[in-house]
Structure 1
Amino acid sequence: MTLYYSLVFLLLVTEMLIFLALIVPLPFTWRRKLFTFISESPIIAKLQYGMKITFIFILILFIDSVNRVYRVQVELAAFAKNDGRGGPVAMGGSERMEVQARKFYSQRNMYLCGFTLFLSLILNRTYVMILDVLRLEEQVKQMKGDPAVKSGKSLQEAGNVGEIGALKEELAKKDRDMENLKKQVENMQNEYNRMGDQVSGSGAAPRKGQ
């Protein structure tokens, strides 16, 4: 298995572990803290952005593996058509094993990439469904006056994975840009005042000589 397919397999195992972590029964307070952290963490937001790019490459690998499987199937069909019928091409034992091996590896890569992409969709949908259930459960507990719901952050404002964290990161970036702009305006104002003082000073010098 090549390096990139090994990384795809590692990603598949990671998705399986995350899926198990999502469906593990936990107390409501723990699960609310977990989903609030996932929604607000800027690290998770950056990780999700990187994963989107990674899944694009996995989709390319999946398309390539499907193409390879198709070509191997066409090759096997051509050999089967000519083999045993007196055709010009007859497949030997070693050649047959080589084609079967390529077929196996192509199908393995296709299934690996396909299941990785499919599980990513399942993870996203599972997260949304669990978040909706937790929101409804939180509303029920609020109506009952449960004190455990009043402590901690509410899930009503929680969004997709890292969504709030991404918004906070973007807001912090805009604040930094605003501070830099204020510093530039302040420096320009100081420079303008300095040049104005120089011009007024040079204009007042001849008057003193008179």
Structure 2
Amino acid sequence: MTLYYSLVFALLVFEMAVFVSLIIPLPFTMKRKLFSFISESPIIAKLQYGLKITFIFILILFVDSVNRVYRVQVELGQAKHQQGAGAGVAGSERMEVQARKFYSQRNMYLCGFTLFLSLILNRTYVMILDTLRLEQEVKDMKGETPKNDKNAAKLGEAGELGEIGQLKKKLAEKEKDLEAMRKQSQGLSNEYNRLGDQMTQEDGSNKKAR
């Protein structure tokens, strides 16, 4: 096994270990603290960014391995047709092609399972965050959570990490900007009315003076 496929295998083992750690049943408080740390840690964020780039290279290796499997399959079919002409030579060539086919299929399965497990990990992580957020909301409704519980607030923020959460945050920021513009517009309107009343009073005073 070449170096890069050895690294892919190591990544696959790492993903399996992470998946097992995610599905291990833990107390709610411990799991809440763990996922709050994962969602806020800058080191974890950098690691996730590096893994995304790594998965792009693994996808390239997967496409290359599929291409190799197809080419080896074609060579194996040609070797079968040549077996009648020279059994000894064709047999040795067929064994070599079979070995190449085995290694190509192994690399294809290795890269494929690594990519597939990465998708499962991402979906499992999001589902666990949603579950913890819903459990926290139930506890808040029942009044079982202290008001100064920082981990609960962090968990609520972690549950909004997806695209929907980002859109909600942007919408909230737009609403704040709109509210500020409304207050500014109301202030300008009040100031305009005050100046208008003041000018009207001054005109009235001038007319009386005349």
Q: Normalising by structure 2, what TM-score?
A: 0.71
What is the root-mean-square deviation in Å for CA atoms of aligned residues?
2.3
Specify every segment of 5 or more residues in structure 1 that has no aligned partner in the other structure, as ranges: 165-210
1:16 alignment partner AA: M
What's the CA shift for 1:81? 2.7
2:91 matched to which residue of 1?
A: 93
Q: Please say if 1:47 is aligned against 2:42.
A: no
Alignment of structure 1 residues 104-123 onto 2, 5 Å? 104-123=102-121
1:74 matched to which residue of 2?
A: 74
The counterpart of 1:146, out of the listed 117, 139, 144, is 144
1:43-65 alpha-carbon deviations (Å, 9 max, x no partner) = 11111111111001000100110
* Inter-CA distance 119–139: structure 2 relative to 1 (3 Å threshold): same
Q: Distance in 2 between matches of 1:61 and 1:23?
A: 29
1:191 matched to which residue of 2?
A: none
Specify every segment of 5 or more residues in structure 2 that has no aligned partner in the other structure, as ranges: 167-210
Q: Distance in 2 between matches of 1:31 and 1:147?
A: 15
Which has the bigger relative contact order, CA under 8 A and spacing at least 6? Answer: 1
Q: Any conservation in 2 of the 1:15–1:119 contact (CA below 8 Å)?
A: yes
1:117-163 alpha-carbon deviations (Å, 9 max, x no partner) = 000000000001111111110000111111368523221111449x9
Q: Percent identity?
A: 73
Structure 1 runs of 4+ aligned residues shifted over 6 Å read: none
Alignment of structure 1 residues 1-16 onto 2, 5 Å? 1-16=1-16
Q: Distance in 2 between matches of 1:146 and 1:25?
A: 21
Q: Distance in 1 between matches of 2:110 and 2:91?
A: 28
* Inter-CA distance 10–19: structure 2 relative to 1 (3 Å threshold): same
Pick the structure with more helix per residue. 2
* Inter-CA distance 149–118: structure 2 relative to 1 (3 Å threshold): farther
Q: Normalising by structure 1, what TM-score?
A: 0.71
Find the residue that maps to 2:15 and give its secondary structure. Answer: helix
